[in-house]
Structure 1
């Protein structure tokens, strides 16, 4: 994980008005990049390297106890050469605490089901959810990177919310079979069944090395202390990718873990 994958804050000025100075990302947003290449899909290696960069950025954010709550392509920025992706826009971010938070914070197409309510609720009503809402949002972005399509395209915000809350998910057609288990786990209805970003990063890094070959661009994505090769077989990740705590993982979500781990082990 690395803070280098977050858009860098440079400074602030109070005069003549409050201004924040941040790193200039000349490549624009991931959303604009995807729109510019439609109907073609980005190269698989590029898509997965972007996904890995996002995962590593979120891994860092969650490690310091912050939930982004608005993870989406328009909040992800690219360098001018379109090889490095960075996370931006922390306007809705907040601490991950054992407390209730505002519901429906974020953008509907990428919002986790636990942030919706099927029953009418009053404005300002809060409910409990945790950092796993970002994992769900990541699954929608990963799906977009692999299909270059918009999740629930053509549906209004209300219809998107209804589809998400009733367990509807985008089609898996044309998704590489090696990636299907990751998507299924990341957009699981139960937040506890979604993996942590540490496990997602390991999975994607392994796919890039073994399915796509060596990564020739964006080498800094691998400047972390994650285990590689045979070390992954003996890591806590291989005990259960759905739970960061290896001891608790033996008691939770055995069926989901087996599905994800089977695909993970086969990719080694």
Structure 2
């Protein structure tokens, strides 16, 4: 090929590459322009969604004593999200302690939620107006923030002072919970769940960390980010959520959350509390195992004593009864699981029996102490009488003195 021909080919290739490069540059410029326009539209739409969300929520919860607060009020309440006010960090948001700026006294638990707008709206609508002594009450919400990144979505719940149950069944607990205290907590938690179920709601994440304890150690169900409607009569479409070890295998298999889903988790919770284990999953010879087979083995070998939390004084028959109740909540056939109302009744019956025994034992002890005191008093009186008779002069001495 001649030099002229080669030069012609090179020029043609270079020209083609230049045309291609110019085309790519023009396309990229147009793409960026469209992307910028799309981003601006997204921000505008997000603002509209936020405004509609705020107005819609305020309207829908107006009669439920759930107040809308400004983001400025929330910032003031939490000292601008001060680390010193941080109570807990979680998957769905961080929780801060705050004080209502409107009255300066009401304590808040302020959740800086990490939720989709739809999920945030759902939690507010589902929990607004729910008022039960065993449910952490939603006091209000706030919306705002920089719309170019993500909105600030804030949930304001009542502050519960004694932390969560997980802390109280750990080795770092301030003091050991008695069986009566454990039963009172479980009864309260079961009643709180029963209340949720009465509205057709399923919690989906029952575990010790989501049971808070009030000033008098009263149990309160918390963390409602996963709450959904009962899907008992529908095809399961809910994405399976929850904590490993507490998740119902049937729910995991069907993706259908029902009240029986919570019953399973509550049964596992009961066993964790009763045995004092920090979690339902543990290592056995290097293999991860679940608490349920171990409990079943203890009952099969008639060894309820092995189930007791270390340091807890409890009659074996009460421990056996509680373990059997917990296992009934975890049976595979969901229709055979007891309702939380039935669980609460059985727990109350066990509590009354345990307390009755304690009161009877205390009464017997007091009576025994009283008898011992009476016996001791009689003995002292007898000894005093003997002492006086020894010290008293014989009668003949008085007679001799009179003769003289």
Asked if structure 2 preserves the Cα contact closer than 8 Å seen for 1:109 and 1:152, the reply is yes
- Please say if 1:174 is aligned against 2:317: no
Q: Does 1:27 align with 2:162?
A: yes
Higher relative contact order (CA 8 A, sep 6+): 1
In 2 relative to 1, CA 26–215 (structure 1 residues): closer, same or farther, beyond 3 Å? Answer: farther
Measured against aligned partners, the alpha-carbon deviations of 1:18-61 in whole angstroms (never above 9, x if no partner) come to 322111111111111211457x9621001111110111001101
- Identify, as 1 or 2, the structure richer in strand: 2
Equivalences for residues 11-26 of structure 1 within 5 A: 11-16=140-145, 17-26=152-161
- CA-atom RMSD in angstroms: 2.9
Aligned pair count reads: 200
> Structure 1, unaligned stretches of length 5 or more?
118-125, 217-268
Instruction: Provide, for residues 113-162 of structure 1, a one-character-per-residue CA deviation record: whole Å limited to 9, x for no partner.
Output: 11334xxxxxxxx633421010010011111111110212238xx956xx
Q: Which runs of 5+ in 2 are unaligned?
A: 1-130, 146-151, 299-305, 309-318, 360-404
Question: Structure 1 pair 185/45, CA: closer, same or farther in 2 (3 Å)?
Answer: same
Alignment of 1:47-196 (within 5 A): 47-81=182-216, 83-97=217-231, 98-99=233-234, 100-117=236-253, 127-149=255-277, 150-154=279-283, 168=293, 170=295, 172=298, 173-174=306-307, 176-196=319-339
Q: Give the aligned partner of residue 226 of structure 1.
A: none
What's the counterpart of residue 354 of structure 2? 211
CA distance in 2, matches of 1:91, 1:50: 22
Q: Within 2, Cα distance between the matches of 1:107 and 1:146?
A: 19
Whether contact under 8 Å (1:5, 1:57) holds in the other structure is yes
Aligned CA distance change for structure 1 residues 215 and 73 (closer, same or farther; 3 Å): farther
Secondary structure of 2:141's counterpart equals strand
Partners of 1:58 and 1:88 lie apart in 2 by 10
Q: Contact between 1:41 and 1:145, CA under 8 Å: does it hold in 2?
A: no
Name which one, 1 or 2, has greater alpha-carbon Rg.
2
Distance 2:207 2:143 in 1: 30
Q: CA deviation at 1:186?
A: 0.9
Determine the C-alpha separation between the residues in 1 that align with 2:194 and 2:204: 14
Structure 1 residues 131 and 169: CA distance shift in structure 2, 3 A: farther
Report the CA distance between 1:197 and its aligned residue.
0.8
Between Structure 1 and Structure 2, which shows a larger proportion of helix residues? 2
Scaled by the length of structure 2, the TM-score of the pair is: 0.45
Whole-Å Cα distance in 2 between the matches of residues 186 and 95 of structure 1? 20
Q: Aligned-pair distance for 1:71? A: 0.5
8 Å CA contact 2:260, 2:334 repeated in 1: yes
The SS at the match of 1:187 is coil
Bigger mean CA offset, 173-182 vs 102-111: 173-182
User: Within 2, Cα distance between the matches of 1:112 and 1:41?
Assistant: 29
TM-score by length of 1: 0.66
The answer as to whether partners of 1:208 and 1:214 remain within 8 angstroms in 2 is: no
Offset from partner CA, 1:209-244 (integer Å, 9 cap, x none): 12223999xxxxxxxxxxxxxxxxxxxxxxxxxxxx
3-state SS in 1 of match to 2:220: strand
